[in-house]
Structure 1
Amino acid sequence: MIFLRQLDVVLLLLALPIFLAADQPPLGWAATTIAWIGQKALQAALERKAANSEDPKHFFRFMAGSLIGRSWLLALTIFAVGIVDRDAGLAAAVLALVVFTCYLAISLIMRAPQNHSERPL
């Protein structure tokens, strides 16, 4: 289970040799990797803080703020890299899209209902 939850990070690590073999700018890989790991650390910290909150409003504020803030962190990183080097920005955006798709799929699979047989008709 831990491997599945961290598959997005494994995918980032596997992308480095692909970037180098395809002669893509390493700046795109580095920026996406740093931003992705940073946003995951921010997510973990805010989820812990939200879990400790007894007020449901605070919980949802932390979670909504986490989602918005992490998205902006990744988007602004890609944008900044694109300003410095357009090819690196494109490579960073494509890598972020692939990693996010993996993260979303794994998140949906991990949160899927475990017992489908008890569903009402």
Structure 2
Amino acid sequence: MAKGHLVWSVACGLLLPFSISEPSHAVECRAFVQMHGFLRAAANQCTFTQYNPEIIETARRCYERLGSETAAPLMFAGRDEFKRMMELRGQHRMCADIGLKFPMVVR
């Protein structure tokens, strides 16, 4: 699998079964923090006006549990992955796909 599709696949896999009421210890924090970096970058580049606060809270708890030395590079990796995919697919298509695949996160 190409690296460009890894975060996308991880994000899809994490969020589809994700229950908002689950505490951070119930999710895989490394993947969740990286996915959060990916989707925050999308929220900044796309015309989304809302970002699910429960996702932010879970990411915050995961960030704290992992510590900044581990979590910060994961957030940056997610952001960088979004940028690479946007360059390959184009901003309009990437934003449309994220809006369709992650309506529980961004709007």
Query: TM-score w.r.t. structure 1 length?
Result: 0.29
Structure in which a larger fraction of residues adopt helix:
1
Query: TM-score w.r.t. structure 2 length?
Result: 0.31
Q: Which has the larger radius of gyration?
A: 1
